[in-house]
């Protein structure tokens, strides 16, 4: 009887090990062909004005792409302590939003330019346990809600009403968090996300360790259980699609930055800043198309 019990125990342990191994392998499996993004070209990224983020702008028609970097922060904004700008996004009706953070204080700021050219600032008071980092924004296709994230290793994304677009928002009132996206796999140091569909995001991660997905600096895909609506939380399934390009004349640590998906052309763009002195000479905005 003891032998049989021991055999049954071994069988159970073997089964659990098999399931655990399958789960790890499933997380590490390459994406299906429909989700493969192939590099098709690159452009130099200016270290002062194109080193943090980028977005394509649909409205007005023929608008140029927008970029952010330390050199794009207005003096009047940095003078009030908002000294870091992240990856921006533009809504399909022409609102343009830049995320800002500062070194002290319990708030983040979203600077919004309306289609008529006017600017307004929307401040969000940090919630309990919320990190101060404000690296990116991603506006939902319907324009009503936007996502943002936090630096470090996180299992969530934050949902806000889109300032300047959603009627519930006002520059004179706190911009509240409306809901949460609960991720089924931890992510680290996400620098930017952009909606591909109402329920799919592509994100650039600056993860320097590689333990989460078996690669450093991954391009991530997050599939939502439902489109964000601001009234209820949703879940997000995370897949690592590929490592982002890490090529330079210099050796050292690269930094992945913002991301943009242009639905008009199907082009994905990601900024990768080169190490050392080469930050000036060969930092790139890489272009990808779906395979």
170-215 per-position pLDDT tens digit: 999 999 999 999 999 999 999 999 999 999 999 999 999 999 999 9
More confident residue, 85 or 23: 85
Q: How many domains are contained in the chain? A: 1
Residue 222 domain-assigned (yes or no):
yes
pTM above 0.85, yes or no: yes
94-136 per-position pLDDT tens digit: 999 999 999 988 999 999 999 999 999 999 999 999 999 999 9
Residue 27 domain-assigned (yes or no):
no
Q: How high is the pLDDT of residue 19?
A: 38
CATH code: domain of residue 254: 2.130.10
Q: How high is the pLDDT of residue 13?
A: 38
| Range name among 10-14, 140-144, 216-220, 261-265 with the lowest pLDDT average | 10-14
Strand pairing class (218-224; 200-205): antiparallel
Q: How high is the pLDDT of residue 17?
A: 38
262 has a pLDDT exceeding 70: yes
Q: How high is the pLDDT of residue 172?
A: 98
Residue 264 domain-assigned (yes or no):
yes
Position 237 confidence tier, pLDDT thresholds 50, 70, 90: very high
Residue 230 domain-assigned (yes or no):
yes
Residue 158 domain-assigned (yes or no):
yes
Q: How high is the pLDDT of residue 291?
A: 87
Position 222 confidence tier, pLDDT thresholds 50, 70, 90: very high
Residue 10 domain-assigned (yes or no):
no
Q: How high is the pLDDT of residue 9?
A: 38
18 has a pLDDT exceeding 80: no
d(CA 259, CA 52): 9
72 has a pLDDT exceeding 90: yes
Residue 4 domain-assigned (yes or no):
no
- Average pLDDT estimate for 250-261: 98
Q: How high is the pLDDT of residue 246?
A: 98
- Average pLDDT estimate for 255-263: 98
Residue 101 domain-assigned (yes or no):
yes
Position 12 confidence tier, pLDDT thresholds 50, 70, 90: very low
What residue numbers bound the domain in which 236 lies? 33-290
- Average pLDDT estimate for 12-25: 39
162 has a pLDDT exceeding 50: yes
For the chain, the average pLDDT equals 90
């Amino acid at each position: 009887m003891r032998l049989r019990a021991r055999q049954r125990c071994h069988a159970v342990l073997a089964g659990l090990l098999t399931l655990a191994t399958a789960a790890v392998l499933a997380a590490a499996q390459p994406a299906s062909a429909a989700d493969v993004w192939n590099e098709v070209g690159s452009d130099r990224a200016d270290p002062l004005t194109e080193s943090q983020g980028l977005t394509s702008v649909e409205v007005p028609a023929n608008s140029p792409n927008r970029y952010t970097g330390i050199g794009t922060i207005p003096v009047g904004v940095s003078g009030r302590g908002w000294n870091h700008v992240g990856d921006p996004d533009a809504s399909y009706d022409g609102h343009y939003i830049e995320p800002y953070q500062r070194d002290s204080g319990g708030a983040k700021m979203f600077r919004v330019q309306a289609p008529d050219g006017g600017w307004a600032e929307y401040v969000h008071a940090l919630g309990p346990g919320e990190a101060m980092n404000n690296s990116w924004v991603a506006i939902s296709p319907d324009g009503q809600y936007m996502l943002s994230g936090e630096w470090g290793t996180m299992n969530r994304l934050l949902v806000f009403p889109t300032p300047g677009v959603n009627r519930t928002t006002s520059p004179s009132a706190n911009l509240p968090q409306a809901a949460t996206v609960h991720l089924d796999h931890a992510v680290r140091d996400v620098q930017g996300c952009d909606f591909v569909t109402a329920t799919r995001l592509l994100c650039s991660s600056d993860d320097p360790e590689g333990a989460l997905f078996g690669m450093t600096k991954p391009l991530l895909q997050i599939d939502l259980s439902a489109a964000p609506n601001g009234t209820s939380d949703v879940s997000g399934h995370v897949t690592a699609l590929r490592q982002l390009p890490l090529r330079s004349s210099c050796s050292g640590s690269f930094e992945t930055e913002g991301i943009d998906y242009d639905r008009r052309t199907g082009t994905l763009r990601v900024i990768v800043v080169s190490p050392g002195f080469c930050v000036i000479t060969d930092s790139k905005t890489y272009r990808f198309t779906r395979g």
